[in-house]
Homo-oligomer: A and B are copies of this chain.
Amino acid sequence: MTSYIDKINTYIKTLDHDTLTALQSISSDKKYKKGDLLLKQHEICGKSYLLMSGIARKYYLTDGKEITTELYFENDLAVSFDSYTLQQPSREFIEALTDVTVSITHYQAFQEAKAKYPKLLALDLMLAEYYGMWVENRLFQFHTMTATERYLEILHKSPHIVQTVPLTIIASYLGISLETLSRIRAKV
Q: Which residues of A contact B (CB under 8 A)?
A: 1, 3-4, 62, 67, 69, 81-82, 85-86, 118, 121-122, 124-125, 128-129, 131-133, 135-140, 142-144, 175
Contacts and interface: CB of A to CB of B under 8 A. Distances in A.
In order of increasing CB-CB distance, the 9 nearest A-B pairs are A142-B142, A132-B132, A128-B128, A125-B125, A139-B139, A135-B135, A82-B133, A85-B129, A143-B175
Identical subunits present? 2
Contact of A125 (B62, B67, B121, B135): B121
Contacts of A131: 132
A46 B182 CA distance: 44
A175 B142 contact: yes
Nearest to A174: B143
Nearest to A125: B125
Report which residue of A118, A121, A143 has the largest number of chain B beta carbons within 10 angstroms of its beta carbon. Answer: A143
Contacts of A69: 139-140, 143
A128 B121 contact: no
A21 to B, nearest CB: 21
A136 B4 contact: no
Contacts of A135: 132, 135-136, 139
A132 B143 contact: no
Nearest to A133: B82
Nearest to A122: B121
Nearest to A62: B144
Contacts of A137: 82
